[in-house]
Structure 1
Amino acid sequence: MTRDELADLLWPTRDRARARQSVRQALYSLRSRLGADVLMGDDPVQVHPEGVTSDLQALEACLTGARPSECLDLYAGPFLEGLSLT
């Protein structure tokens, strides 16, 4: 995803310069906290597939391993609780 796309998605009401500054700060914070190799590239920015795990990967692993109770535990909470993109 390009920096402009991230800026538009995450800070749609800010002017472009301020939104891009926020993207720079967010990427710096992510790299500082998660390690420099978690994100690939500068523009576009990508998440390194081996650098993070996702709930989808965990679900696929427990389904493949035939562990249904573990699958249910993964999805006990509300879907995307607290997420707002607008």
Structure 2
Amino acid sequence: MGSAFGATVNASGAMITVQGRSALKAADVAGKDIRAATALVIAALAAEGTSTIRGMYHVRRGYVGLLPKLAALGADLTTDRE
């Protein structure tokens, strides 16, 4: 399947395996649906460096208050409209 944030992800049928690092690294990624985009936000928050996530309109549409709440908790976020 590929790697992002320094982890290797493989899919076989209904099973997905993730082999990661102890510290994630920044990545340029795209979320194709609300669950994927939200998972990428969480990974980016845990990663070292600055990540770019495309497909954030899914998160803004489905979880309207999530990004402001993360910022209020101290997350360093910058968003651009897609």
TM-score (norm. length: structure 1): 0.23
Higher helix share: 1
Instruction: Tell which structure's C-alpha radius of gyration is larger.
Output: 1
Higher strand share: 2
TM-score (norm. length: structure 2): 0.23
